[in-house]
Amino acid sequence: MRYKKLLEVKEDGDRVYFAFFKNNEQKIIALPKSRASNKAIYAGNDYSNLKLTTGETAKIMLDSLMRSAIKNHPKFICCDSRIQKLLNG
């Protein structure tokens, strides 16, 4: 039996990156931290090619299991409060 990584979390000074792996496909969502000057959300399949997205599009892109994983991860507390409300609602 092979173990596959389902979630990978990285961060930099402005964002927390949640990467989900399913069937060798990667989905990444980059959420702004509370102190970030740029509060935009980015998403995509490759860290080097993330595109600007709206909060509603990001919410649709994430299934309920992904949203639950993000909301229950300790790094979610670092994210901007508006993002937390969006994903909790």
pLDDT tens for residues 21-44? 877 788 999 999 999 999 999 999
SS3 71: helix
The rounded mean pLDDT for the chain is: 89
Confidence tier at 12 by pLDDT (50, 70, 90): very high
pTM given for the model: 0.87
pLDDT for 52 beyond 80:
yes
Average pLDDT score over residue span 1-29: 84
Average pLDDT score over residue span 66-87: 91
Percent of the chain predicted with pLDDT > 90: 61
- How many angstroms separate the CA atoms of 83 and 89, rounded? 10
- How many angstroms separate the CA atoms of 34 and 70, rounded? 16
